[in-house]
Amino acid sequence: MEKIKVLIIDDSAVMRKFLTDTLSRSPRIEVVGTAIDPFIAVNKIKALKPDVLTLDVEMPRMDGLTFLSKLMIASPMPVIMVSTLTVQGADVTLKALHLGAVDFMLKPAIDNEKEVQDFSRLIMEKVFMASQVKMSGRLAAPMLEVEEKFSADVILAKRDPLKTKVRSEQIVAIGASTGGTEVIDEILVSLPDSVPGIVITQHMPEKFTEAFANRVNTKTKILVREGKHGDRLYRGMALIAPGGRHMLLRADSNGYYIEVNDGPPVNRHKPSVDVLFRSVSQAAGRAATGILCTGMGNDGAAGLLEMKDAGAYTVGQNEASCIVYGMPREAMKLGATCEERNIGGIIDFIKNIK
């Protein structure tokens, strides 16, 4: 089996060495080179023909976003962004995913042994995954200023579900991981403000989920926000599980609301899709629809089966439209999905839920 060739682009000598040493421990990965900025990287990409790039978000001379947008037009290839756990880092990383990056990693604290171990394991998995992604059809998105000009009109026209408080008898639960931010964005932007309440778990760290919710909310007819403990769920709104916390659906005589807790990771994730789906099966039963989208691993498969067993209709994203057909595949193996659909089919299905 040929090794996966990786080029590391980072202006920090410490991070370049750390990434090189980490990835080189895998017998399936070869770090073919490093670059301190995009200008040097361009020549190395031509000479070394890497399979996967790791790209720092913040660099001198040319930032990671500008380089990524040019790369995806000139020579599309799988890119894993390496980011920091800051509000600015979250916003830039989300823009990078929009421009075509397949995934991202948070830089660990080098002196924190657990962070280093978790990072080392996960980045190897993500490099393997990225090397399998077919870049054909994944062209760079338009630069984001156009999107922001469009959003103002949408915000003015948006109905506020918290004022109208139309009780949602039906619930839509969505789970996703790698590649999921763009899928969820596409789904939510396409929905009318009359849709049932939506609960979402997308594997992301803290700060990132709030930035993601706020970003999507500028473009949708429905209200989209990061879920807070005790939030009520009404028609025309979507709540996204906060990074670093589990989100669960609960019900009482007044309808549905969410619980946010600090339990241990499930399937190595917090928030976990399984945790959300399991709670939906218990709180909503046959009044729910479960949708499991693109992602690496098996989180959500067992929970989707519980939803199906409780009478919910369950949908998996089909392989052709997934960045990573991992989580939906595991659900299909378990018999947890009633059917599979592409993104357009998922949107049409949600629109028809009354």
Active site residue 12: no
* b/e burial code for range 159-171 (CB count within 10 A of at least 16 → b): bebeeeeeebebb
Q: What is the CA radius of gyration of the chain?
A: 20
Residue in 168, 177, 272, 279 annotated catalytic: 177
| Count of residues making up the chain | 354
List the one residue out of 169, 174, 149 whose CA is nearest residue 353. Answer: 169
Chain-centroid distance, C-alpha 139: 18
Tokens of 45: 């990409």
From the candidates 98, 203, 246, 269, which is the catalytic residue?
203
Residue 203 is a catalytic residue: yes
Residue 311 tokens, joined: 């009478």
Q: Which of 30, 27, 118, 39 is nearest to 71 (CA)?
A: 39
End-to-end CA distance of the chain: 51
Look up tokens 């490093």; give the residue. 34
d(CA 54, CA 112) in angstroms, rounded, equals: 21
Residue 246 catalytic? Answer: no
What does DSSP say about strands 255-261 and 246-252: parallel, antiparallel, or unpaired?
A: antiparallel
CA distances from 288 to 55, 180, 195, 259 (A): 40, 20, 13, 17
CB atoms closer than 10 angstroms to residue 75: 12
| Phi and psi angles of residue 346, each rounded to the nearest 5 degrees, phi first | -65, -45
CB 52 within 8 A of CB 24: no
Please give the Cα distance from 4 to 128 (Å, whole number).
8
Which member of 56, 185, 274, 299 is catalytic? 299
Catalytic residues: 177, 203, 299
